[in-house]
Structure 1
Amino acid sequence: MRTVLVVLFDDVQSLDVSGPVEVFNGAERHCPGTYRIRTVTADGGQVRTSSGLTLVPDHSFADAPAAHTLLVPGGEGTRRPDPGLVDWLREQGPRAERLVSVCSGALLLAEAGLLDGRRVTSHWSVCARLARDHPCVEVDPDPIFVRDGKLATSAGVTSGIDLALALVEEDIGRDIALSVARHLVVFLRRPGNQAQFSAQLTAQTARREPLREVQQWITEHPGADLSVDALAARARLSPRHFARAFQTETGMTPGRYVDRVRLEHARRLLEDTADGVEEISRACGYGTPEAMRRAFVRTLGTAPAEYRRRFRPAPVH
């Protein structure tokens, strides 16, 4: 029996709490005796979430059970942390077998000194602050979740569900995690090193119409000739001018943008279709399965076939 102890405080983000709790509770329903979920506040009193919901905890700090997994959600309440909460985390964090933060909950762990020397992520909106205020913490703003030993941090909101599913898979196996995911109508889980944003959301939208049209063309035609020369011709600019203007206006080189679009398209085809790897590599502009394999290993740390095995939902019978 693993006790999952969820810390609550005023202005906590309700989905940061309920998302992971639903995952662990679903795993407990499928495999009784696996998880015991408890919530805790400083004084045992109820708290109000940032969306106005009222949550009633099971425990106060004084009578909280020992945690196997100590989970710290995010929300507006993390931006002005309560010193008593930070002190309690500083004391209890090292005692937990697994320390987890969702969204800006990483700010509370950092204030407690529990992230020093560790690689972490958080919601994109607080990563700069986390890095600035805590220079001893290695902040990676891109992934949806990061594992570093017994520490696990996530980007927040729905990525807390992805991280919780990964932890369930680690604890009791892929079949249970898949059953929970299917019940929640989500993929088994997105890989932790998947970017928080798609290429289209990461890159800025170009100001000039020809460049915006090129961005859209790339998204709709990942298998086309997307060389700088070809894209520059479509924008009616010289290759040199196009490359410079594209990076200035989008914050990303044309090659980097193309790489991300192709990878995202290949991932979707692997997840959503039964097409073969060779067919997908051609459709996404890689040309050969080996070129696509290199792109997957470089960015996601896994080959396309393994990615499909792990992340494509099984058919419902």
Structure 2
Amino acid sequence: MDQRPVAIVGYDGAELLDIACVTTSFGMANATGGVRKPYQVMVVSPGGQPISCGPGVLLHSGEALERLTGPLDTLIISGGLGHADAATNPLVVAHVQRLAKISRRVASVCTGASVLAAAGLLDGRRATTHWRFADALAARYPRVEVDPDPIYIRDGMISTAAGVTSALDLALAFIEEDHGVDVARMLARELVTYLQRPGNQAQMSMFTAGPSPANPAVRRVVEHVTANLRGDLSTMALAGVAGVGARHLTRLFLTDVGQTPGRHVRHLRTEAAARLLVTTSLPLGSIAEQCGFGSTETLRLTFLGRYGIPPSRYRSIHRGTDTTVATVPTGSLEPGTGTATPTA
């Protein structure tokens, strides 16, 4: 193929940003002049009908899904509030199955993962989706190993992105794979974004997470932990704050938070350290102390386990000061999460 045909599947209720992040990235990649095989980007929909993307936005489709033929370089399923209807639409599911067989790689953005799951393309694979819909996806498709944390996951030829702007991260990863880091770096500058956030970077943090825990005792403990990160946050100490036994507190946390108290403490300490790394110039030792880590080595090991990169690299990437090109050492990422390539 002289071009790389890319088909983005939309439907009534698709999210415009899920589509635009992809079309803009590939379109701008063509415009850089460094692309060996330009992308031929198509937005397709059932019957070629216009795609309603929310109040006041109607996106015209370039082709009918059922008339699209291959081979395709990349097939991408957009997400959106209409994903549930799309996943139960036999026409959409059947043609996604058909097109996936003639595509080099297949991906979804946000809740578009439900369409891939309905087509059986995620069976036995790790996949992600928007954190708000992860539990529903896991319950409806038990053969899919749903991980709600990463911003994107690559498992063989199938990729799933967490939602909305994570489509930009996935598109940049594809462009780097196809045309090299120099083209991706140039494009990232044009888009005023990171070259590529690490794929296993968490979708949410303690600063943007959802509602507080419903259980008053658990909520009291979480508030105490957030305000006292450098203090004694052992399960026994937290049980005293809650006024219950340590075993009962663990049961309450597993029910209300989905984690043990100890795991949740590590999560909050790591998120707090990540925020300080990006927003301050404090040395690692000070950050480790403020966030309750016993040493900088403990902080480093925790970051490697959570993000796949050490805290110094995390700071460089997220403050836009890392000019190196490197991949995460083998074994530091879960399978299928991709590599962490810093921005210019």
TM over 0.5: yes
Query: What TM-score does the superposition give when structure 2 sets the normalisation length?
Result: 0.77
Structure 1 residues 268 and 307 mapped into 2: Cα distance closer, same or farther (>3 Å)?
same
- Any idea what SS the aligned residue of 2:48 has? coil
Determine if the alignment matches structure 1 residue 22 to structure 2 residue 19.
Answer: no
- Alignment partner for residue 54 of structure 1, among 58, 61, 81? 58
- Give runs of aligned pairs for residues 71-90 of structure 1, distance below 5 A: 71-81=76-86, 82-90=89-97
Structure 1 residue 85: Cα displacement: 1.8
TM-score by length of 1: 0.83
Q: Secondary structure at the match of 2:197?
A: coil
Alignment correspondent of 2:336: none
Matches within 5 A, 1:123-272: 123-199=130-206, 201=209, 204-205=212-213, 207-208=215-216, 212=219, 214-228=221-235, 231=238, 235=241, 237=243, 240=246, 243-244=249-250, 247=253, 250-272=257-279
CA distance in 1, matches of 2:193, 2:139: 34
8 Å contact 2:18–2:164 — kept in the other structure? yes
Deviations 1:20-57 (A, max 9, x none): 32333333333453433221223333222244411112
Mapped partners of 1:8, 1:236: distance in 2: 48
AA partner of residue 28 (structure 2): G
Contact 1:78 1:104 in 2 (8 A): yes
2:337 alignment partner in structure 1: none
Q: 3-state SS of the aligned residue for 1:17?
A: helix
Query: 1:96 corresponds to which residue?
Result: 103
Identity of aligned residues (%): 38
Contact 1:206 1:246 (C-alpha < 8 Å) held by counterparts:
no
Q: In structure 2, what is the Cα distance between the partners aligned to 1:216 and 1:178?
A: 41
Equivalent position SS for 2:101 = helix
Q: CA deviation at 1:72?
A: 0.4
Of the three residues 2, 5, 10, the one matched with 1:3 is: 5
Q: Which runs of 5+ in 2 are unaligned?
A: 323-342
Cα pair distance change 1:275/1:133, threshold 3 Å? same
Question: How far, CA to CA, are the matches of 1:193 and 1:95 in structure 2?
Answer: 28
Query: 1:148 Cα shift?
Result: 0.2
Cα distance in 2 for residues equivalent to 1:240 and 1:118: 36
**CA distance in 2 between partners of 1:241 and 1:127 (Å):** 28
Question: Deviations along 1:110-146, whole A, 9 cap, x unmatched?
Answer: 2222222211112234333433333332222332221
The 8 Å contact of residues 203 and 252 in structure 1, kept in 2 or not, is answered as: no
**Distance in 1 of aligned mates of 2:129 and 2:105:** 17
Point out the more displaced range, 82-91 or 164-173.
164-173
Aligned-residue offset at 1:107:
1.5
With over 3 angstroms needed to count, the CA separation of the structure-2 counterparts of 1:314 and 1:93, relative to structure 1, is same
Partner of 1:36: 40
How many residues matched? 315
For the aligned residues, what is the CA RMSD? Answer: 3.3
Structure 1: state its 5+ residue gaps: none
**Counterpart Cα distance in 1 of 2:118 and 2:251:** 41
Q: Which residue of 1 aligns with 2:127?
A: 120
Query: Could you tell me how far apart the structure 1 residues matched to 2:10 and 2:294 are?
Result: 51
Q: Which amino acid in 2 is paired with 1:4?
A: V
The amino acid of 2:41's aligned partner reads I
| C-alpha spacing 1:31/1:309, structure 2 compared with 1 (3 Å) | farther
Give, in whole Å, the separation in 1 of the partners of 2:256 and 2:127. Answer: 29
SS in 1 for 2:72: coil
Q: Deviations over 1:253-309 (max 9, x none)?
A: 332222111111222233344444334323322132211122122222232234344
SS at match of 1:294: helix
Q: Aligned partners of 1:186, 1:231: CA distance in 2, in Å?
A: 40
Shift of 1:79: 0.9
